[in-house]
Structures are given as structure tokens and as C-alpha cells.
Structure 1
Amino acid sequence: MSQWTDFWELIDLGIHNPEDLRGAISRMPEADLVEFYWTYEEAAADLKDEEFTKHLNPPRTEDFIDDVAQWVVSQGLSYYESIMVNPSMIPPELPPDAHPSPWTGTVSRIYRTRYGAPVRFREDPPPETRR
């Protein structure tokens, strides 16, 4: 996967048809699973700095901050960039009827099923494939 562009194309796919993204994730080779997972985590981490979190409603627990950050990423590149440019526009909490993004959890489950381990760090070697 050519990292940034392909990542956001997959996020757009998930916006329009979550089942198609689930299918795409389930077919990804190991290296692409790792790349998607860590790109998502890094994009969300960019939204966890004080300049963003000070606009969230209390209580600002780690889980709450993570849920909001992951949800923002799941809304696509345009929305993500608008928040990055103007941190005060981050939603103070998840919108009504919104759910935290399932994508890192989906990747984690698929990875653990396939490789019997948590998603590796990018710099770690890939696991041996099961026979």
C-alpha cells in the first residue's frame, strides 16, 4: 500500500461501504495490515495533543480521547485535515449515535487470527507464516 494516499482511499471506502473495507482488510497481506494499523494509530495520535484535547468535554480519559481521535480519522481526509488546521473544531465528544472506529480492532483481530500475535511494530520482522 502506498501509505498516505492508499490509507485515505481505504478510509473513504469504509465511509461509503464498511463491509467492503472489512473485506479489503481481510485480504490484505501481512505488511499492508501492519501499515494500515500503524498509519491509523499515528493519524489518531496526532489528535491527542493538548491543542486538541483541551476542546474535549470532561472527563478526558485516555479511552475517551482515543475514541474521539479514532472517530475523526474514520471521517476521512478532508475532515481530518480540517481538524488538524483548526484544533478547536474537534468535536467535544462523539456525536449522537456515533461509534468509535472499528478499523484498528478489525485489523488486530485478523492479524491475531492469522499470526497468533498482536500487530507487530513496523520495524519488527514479520512473523513466520503458519502452515
Structure 2
Amino acid sequence: MKASAQRAARFWKELLEEVVRPSVIVGFEDYYRRLSSWVIGHTQDFGAELLEESGLAVLARLDPSRYLSKSPEIRLDLELARLSSVAPKSMESVAMALSETLLDMVTVWSARDCPNCGGPMRIMVALSDDARRLFLRCRDCSHEEWEDFSRVETRVRRVLPATRGDVTGLHRAHAASEDRMAMEARVRGEAISDSFWDIIRRAEMRSDRLKRILWEMPEDEVARFHEEFVRASSVLRGSPFDAILDEAVSEDTLMDIAYWVVAQGREFYEGVLEHPNRIPRHVKGGDPAVMHHVAVEVFDERFGKELDFF
């Protein structure tokens, strides 16, 4: 164990002295080529298996003139300090640190946040014998999903960073898909009456205030309000919102999120319909804005009747 750590420390020191010195770096493409050449020059030290597992086998042989990001998320003037703070304990740690550095320079980030942890998503290409398919991989939790937002069931092994050309195609496909689904949701949402939204506005996101308002209304109007509340929230539990929230959100949580969004009022609700990715990923338990139950209570306590919940 000690020998492994000493070997890793020696390699890391060599890397810093030979490659990362600010005086020898003249730009991101030059830095990428220097790191890649250093990795290739130490192929035997890393071993083929480690290079493959860490992704260096692919990353070190990419052409940076084709793959380099327009705005890599590292600063060359701080790179020596950043990597000097790293203290790898094994060759595996060295390989992973280099892999992350190279990957950060060629990553194009998706505008979509990870539905699992909220982290940034890299746009990647899955390779098979006869096809290339785009997918997203979270930097923080490694959650993966295909370009249509469906979850990747088996972790993708053979991958490349996406090129700018790949990303242009993905963004167009996402925009067309999201526009279509958002339009369908807006059409369903527009069927909600002005009077419903006026009651929501007056309630000011408080279930107790909503109850007082409904208590003064006739039976048929309370029933109509309840029906519209359920209909408005059901729009947020269908496509595209169910795909955006994915399996990380339970059915009960998805319902609470939908109820909460409706309670925020018309402007917020229609903003979510227009831009589905704005839908919140969670709401606090006991939030007074989760007030779907109020009409049911009023119907029972004032009219002595049951009101179907859904």
C-alpha cells in the first residue's frame, strides 16, 4: 500500500513539473495535447485495463481541435494550484484525476439538470457495433438517461464525449420534443376557468384561507372548484413532467408537486407549462400550499357529502 502511494506521488509530481507548469501552457488545446501525450507515454505504467476503465484510453487519443469545448470549466492560470492540491494515493487515483481533467475540457453540458441529484449532465455518445446514440450522464451521481429522457437501464461502457455537431442535433430534437409536449400541456391547462384562478389568488397559497373562501360558496361551485383543481394538477402529472421528474420522485411526491404548483397561481402554473423543466423536484412536507384536500373537507363538513378525490 505504501509503495503504491509513493509511486502515485512520484508520477503526480512528474506530471506537474513536465506538463502543468503555467509557463509551458499556451492554451486549452495545447494543454489537452500535453496531458494526452503524457498519458500515452506512460501507457505501460498505467496498464491497458486501468486506461480502459478510467476512460483515458479514449480521451487521450481524441483530437482536441474537434472535441474541445468552447468554454472548458477549468482555469489554466489556476490549474497548477488545483492539481497541486490533489494527493493521489494510487495509480487508479492518478488515472481518474487525469480522466476528469481531460473530460472537463471536451464536455458540452446539457441545459437539463440531473433528475436524481440536480447536478450537471454531460452530453455523451454511446457506441455499439453499428450505431452511435446520444445520452446524458450526471457528473455528480453518474445517473444516465437517453436523449428522450428515458432512463438508461444498463450502464453504458463504450462512450465518447459528444462533438458540437452531435450537440446541435440533440438540442434541436429536445427543443422540438419539449415544444410539442409543452404545447399539449398548455392546451389542457387553458381549459381551467378564470374564476378558479381568482379563488386560488385570493387563497394566497394558504389552505386555511381557501377553506374560508369555499365555505361561503354554494355546493355546486365548490364541486366545480374541486373538479378544476384536480384537472389542473393532473396536467402536471402527465407528459412531459413525469419523464422530467423520472423514477427519483414517487407518485405521492409527484402529486404533491402538482398540487403545490397549482396553488402558486395562474402565472406560475402557466410558466411551468411553457417551460416544463421549471417544475420543482420536491416540496416540503406540510406546506400549506399543498391544499388539494380542502374542497373535500368543506363538502364533508358543510354539506355532509362525500366528494371524489380524484
Displacement of 1:23 in angstroms is 1.4
Contact 1:43 1:73 in 2 (8 A): yes
Please give the per-residue CA displacement for 1:60-108, whole angstroms capped at 9, x wherever unaligned.
22211100000000000000001111111111112x5871634331110
Distance 2:213 2:245 in 1: 33
2:297 matched residue in structure 1: 109
1:71 to 253, 260, 271: 260
Match of 1:45 among 218, 230, 234: 234
For the structure 1 residues 17 and 87, does the alpha-carbon distance in structure 2 shift closer, same or farther, using more than 3 Å as the test?
closer
Aligned residues: 118
**In 2 relative to 1, CA 105–97 (structure 1 residues): closer, same or farther, beyond 3 Å?**
closer
Q: How do 1:18-57 residues align onto structure 2 when only pairs under 5 Å count?
A: 19-56=208-245
**Aligned residue type for 1:59:** A
Where does the alignment leave 5 or more consecutive residues of structure 1 unmatched? 122-131
Partner Cα separation in structure 1 for residue 244 and residue 223 of structure 2: 31
User: Does the CA contact (< 8 Å) of 2:197 and 2:266 recur in 1?
Assistant: yes
Q: Computing the radius of gyration over CA atoms, which structure comes out larger, 1 or 2? A: 2
Q: Structure 1's 100 and 62: CA in aligned 2 closer, same or farther, altered over 3 A?
A: farther
Aligned partners of 1:55 and 1:92 also within 8 Å = no
Offset at residue 30 of structure 1 (A): 0.6
Identify the range of structure 1 (27-36 vs 108-117) with the bigger mean alpha-carbon deviation. 108-117
The one-letter code of the counterpart of 2:202 is L
CA contact (8 A) 2:241 2:279 kept: yes
Compute the displacement of 1:54 (Å): 2.4
User: Contact between 2:196 and 2:228, CA under 8 Å: does it hold in 1?
Assistant: yes
Which segment drifts farther, 38-47 or 103-112? 103-112
Looking at structure 2, the residues matched to 67 and 21 of structure 1 have their Cα atoms a distance apart, in angstroms, of 17
Match of 1:124 in 2: none
Q: 1:119 to 1:31 in 2, by over 3 A?
A: same
Q: In the TM superposition, what is the alpha-carbon distance from 1:115 to its structure 2 partner?
A: 3.6
State TM-score, norm by structure 2: 0.35
Name structure 2 gaps, 5 residues minimum. Answer: 1-191
* Equivalent in the alignment of 2:269: 80
* Root-mean-square deviation over aligned CA pairs: 2.5
Structure 2 contact 206–288 (Cα < 8 Å) conserved: no
Contact 1:52 / 1:90 at 8 angstroms: preserved in 2? yes
- The aligned amino acid for 2:278 is M
| Higher strand proportion (structure 1 or 2) | 2
Query: Which of the pair has the greater relative contact order for Cα pairs under 8 Å at 6+ separation?
Result: 1
